[in-house]
Amino acid sequence: MKFGKTFEKTLQDEHIPESWLSSSIRYKLLKKQINKVVDEINELGLSDSIKSDNHQYIYKFTTEDNGIIEPKLYEIKANDDDKYDDEIKELKSIEISNSNAKINHEIILQKDKDFFQDLFNQYNQLNKFMRLEEKDLESKICNFAIIIKSLLENNKQKDIKIWREIFNQYIDFKLDLNSKFNLKNFENFLNHLNSTKLINGLKRDNLKIFESFYQLNYSLLKFLTFKKLNNLAIKKIIKKFDKHTSLKSSPNLTRLINSYHGNELSLISPMTIEQIISTDIIKLIPQLDDYLCPICFNIAYKPIRLRCSHFFCVRCLVKLQRQNESKCPICREFNVMDATEQNLDEQLMKFMTTNFPKEVKMKRRINDKEITDETLENLGYDRLSALDDSKLKQFNELSQTLLEKKTAELTTQLSLFKSILLSFFEQNKDTIAKNSELKLKLFQVCRNLNIDPLIILDKSTDFNQFYYELGLKIIEFNDFQGNIKYGGLIPIKEILLSINENLDNKIKQDDLQISIDLLKVLNEEIDIITLNNQKYIKLLQISLSSDKVELLKIVNEIGHISISILRDNLNWNIIKCKEVLNELVSNGYLWIDKGNKGEVLYWDPSWINRF
């Protein structure tokens, strides 16, 4: 298809508004004028000599006094005459290099002047129109930016989240790049948004905003298409002119147009309009990508800004310093070792907390975990081999060490350690359930850390131990507050409230009943009774001495007890040991194991069942 037709068809296909078309380049008209120039050249009998290599011609443009630019054709001839004007003198010095002096003889043409005059007029009109459109688009972009800014100023986090996601996709589709900003890509972007249901979920206000964002992009795309098509039409028509007339206008014309752009007539702003969308709108909503630490790719929370203005998260920077890595990983400036807490960019930190609260929270958790891991590692503990038996000993020792050093600093670490232990327990539940030895050891660690055993015990798999611990709690409650406060009658409601305080799996009245049935072995008086429609635990005459409780605590930890263990741990004399042990054995609470060489061991029956 000839370009003239293609040009008109494309303008139509791209739905270029009717009102724009009058400002478009009139390609067909200009083509007709080229024919007239060709006719004129033929009439002057010049067509052959212009085409032939034997003749030299110069085709250039001069600006007349009235500002009109005119083409001029000169034929270069050997110089036998010194009478040429100043302008030709000047030309001579530029164009003629050999020693044989030559003269430029002007050939007067009219139709080419008509053609170029028309072309320039159309070009100027087009530019004027484009400039107005550009201004209009700029103000639309500006208005849109105000809407987005108001979301930010009013801290509409929900809306900001939506727009962050939309703009994120916009960037993913590279619509912020000039080379990818085209209709096809924009439609792909829209299709994607539709498929993610992001658009369908938009509420009234955001839908309105989205519509204007859509319109804005759409108008801009049309504007750019129109501009591109017309530029192409200009290029094509000049090429056609040169081809048909054999006059070489393009080199000088290109120079002329370029100089046109250099002066105040220039229409091309330093930043092209499609860039304005990305810088003035898309960049308004902070994107996480711009705030990532280039080392760990998490949000660079707490951001340490180096002298070179690059920033990293404090953890990564600390690691760099420990490794004596003194160069900024991005620009290689020697400044890493100079960084102190003075380099913390507090403003940026605040900004991150406001705009990316979720990511900041996660990063803080990662940092906390890392710090604890490092502490454990320094103490010879390796998190991955927690299931390794020998490591468990260290685990236990470590917990004791931490307990002993109850400095403020260690308290934080201890609570972290506790939470790690609990999550470790949670994650390895199945493994631990199958390995009673491991369980026992972990259980000891928990005791050392004052972790409520009811948190880690499982009613269904640790039936006896669980209800035994619950029984101890009932007695403890009575010892510490019940006896004085309630006079030996503890309201069920109160005790459940106290016991359940830190438990996720809440204890119920039925559970208390099971424990009390177990405690009955130790003291028949203990029971649940109802008074005035309220349930109480009766501990009125309970004679379970604190001695027995102490002893049972040890049995519960290690599964068995012996006289020497009692002496070592509780400083009891042998008589007291035997007395208490015999009573518990006679009540069926402990089983005697004489099979072991050496000392007699007293076993908790629930433990024996496990082996």
Q: Which of residues 520-549 bind Zn ion (CB under 5 A)?
A: none
On whether the CB atoms of residues 570 and 550 are closer than 8 A, the answer is yes
Residue 304 within binding range of Zn ion, rule CB under 5 A: no
**DSSP type of residue 271:** S
33 phi, psi to nearest 5 deg: -70, -30
> According to CB under 5 A, which residues from 283 to 302 bind Zn ion?
293, 295-296
We find the least distance from the C-beta atom of residue 412 to Zn ion, in angstroms, to be 22
308 binds Zn ion (CB under 5 A): yes
Residue 320 CB, shortest distance to Zn ion, in Å, is 10
| β-sheet with 527-531: strand ranges across | 489-491, 534-538, 527-531
Task: Work out which of 50, 148, 160, 313 binds Zn ion, going by CB under 5 A.
Answer: 313
The C-alpha atoms of residue 345 and residue 351 are separated, in whole angstroms, by 10
Tokens representing 508?
């119920």
What letter represents residue 468's amino acid?
Y
Binding to Zn ion (CB under 5 A): which residues in 416-475?
none
Q: Residue 196: CB partners within 8 Å, gap ≥ 6?
A: 169
From CA 56, how far away is CA 78, in angstroms rounded? 11
Cβ at position 377, least distance to Zn ion in Å? 19
Among 310, 441, 538, 567, binds Zn ion (CB under 5 A): 310
Q: Which is nearer to Zn ion, 316 or 551 (CB)?
A: 316
- Give min distance, CB of 351 to Zn ion, in A: 17
Candidates 163, 168, 158; CA nearest to 289 is 168
Angle between helices 492-499 and 463-477 (to 10 degrees): 110
Q: Tell the smallest beta-carbon distance from residue 435 to Zn ion (Å).
A: 38
Which positions from 322 through 351 interact with Zn ion, judged by CB under 5 A? 328, 330-331
Piece of the chain touching Zn ion by CB under 5 A; list 312-320, 336-344, 430-438, 455-463: 312-320
Measured from the CB atom, the residue of 230 and 298 that comes closer to Zn ion is 298
Q: How far is CA 437 from CA 426, 441, 442, in A?
A: 17, 6, 9
Closest distance of CB 312 from Zn ion, Å: 5
In the complex, minimum distance from the CB of residue 360 to Zn ion, in angstroms, rounded to a whole number: 13
- Taking the complex as a whole, the smallest distance from the CB of residue 330 to Zn ion amounts, in Å, to 4
Place of tokens 């327990």: 425
Residue 23, classed as helix, strand or coil, is coil
Q: Are 453 and 447 in contact (CB under 8 A)?
A: yes
C-alpha closest to that of 495 among 526, 473, 464: 473
* Residue 180 sits in the site that holds Zn ion (CB under 5 A): no
The region of 97-105, 245-253, 313-321, 398-406 touching Zn ion under the rule CB under 5 A is: 313-321
Identify which of residues 334 and 480 has a Cβ nearer to Zn ion in the complex.
Answer: 334
> Residue 429 and residue 575: Cα distance in Å, rounded?
42
Tell me the site size for Zn ion, rule CB under 5 A: 10
Interacting residues with Zn ion (CB under 5 A) = 293, 295-296, 308, 310, 313, 316, 328, 330-331
